[in-house]
Amino acid sequence: PRPHPYAREPRPHPYAREPRPHPYAREPRPHPNRKVPMAAILSVSGSPSATSRTARLLRHLDDRLRLQSHQVTSLEVRTLPPGPLLGADFRHPAIVEASALFERADGVVIGTPVYKAAYSGLLKSLLDLLPQYALTGKTVLPLATGGSTAHVLAIDYALRPVLSSMGAAHIVPGWFTLDTDLSVAPDGTLTVAPGAAEALDQVTDRFSAVLGGRPAVLAAAE
């Protein structure tokens, strides 16, 4: 069908006006008590032991980060299938998912027991499987546990260079905790010696602050 030769496009009414917002209308504000996750954090334990002090320490610090409104995901490397992990099977679903956890994270906490001044072989196996620059743009907090102060520099001389080579944007100063400063009750509850607990809180809060958390608010609540 053809348009009528005298048809005209409809014109707006000469007195028509654009609708205006109500003078007292306000933008909705979030509820003051609602917590919005500040950052996605991956907390990685490189201990091969099922009763690891390292893993328990990380879970303890995970709770502190959650109180600062971060979204924390835990990964224990020992739970990954050993065949694909040690055989460098990049395509195995569990390895692919572990790699995806790193990719989605804004910040990464990496904890490892120290053996002979080196981080765990299990953690090394995982880091070797990740893409070369898996930590690009991410903030990283390295933590270590061990039985002797002779290993206290393992973070700086063994772990930090590897994390840097993987593209970490900011490696927060980490902390080495002596095994004697960590005690585990029969029910699995972890107790950290006062001096070590204070130091760990400080490095965790510094990590949180870099990610945009609220350590000052948490400190006030304590």
Report pLDDT for 22.
62
Report pLDDT for 152.
84
Task: Report residue 214: phi and psi, to 5°.
Answer: -130, 60
Q: Give the H or E element holding residue 76.
A: strand 71-76
Report pLDDT for 107.
98
Residues 139/70, Cβ–Cβ less than 8 Å: no
Residues 137/169, Cβ–Cβ less than 8 Å: yes
d(CA 201, CA 162): 24
pLDDT along the chain (222 residues), means of 10: 62 63 58 64 95 94 96 97 94 96 98 91 95 96 91 88 96 94 91 96 96 57 46
Q: Which residues pair with 43 in a beta bridge?
A: 74, 109
d(CA 208, CA 182): 23
CA-based Rg of the chain, rounded to a whole angstrom?
A: 26
Could you give the domains of the chain? 40-221 (3.40.50.360)
Residues 174/168, Cβ–Cβ less than 8 Å: no
Report pLDDT for 15.
63
pTM, whole model, 2 decimals? Answer: 0.79
Report pLDDT for 221.
45
Residue type, 125: S
d(CA 121, CA 123): 5
What residue spans of the chain are helical by DSSP H? 53-67, 82-86, 93-104, 121-129, 154, 160-165, 194-211, 215-221
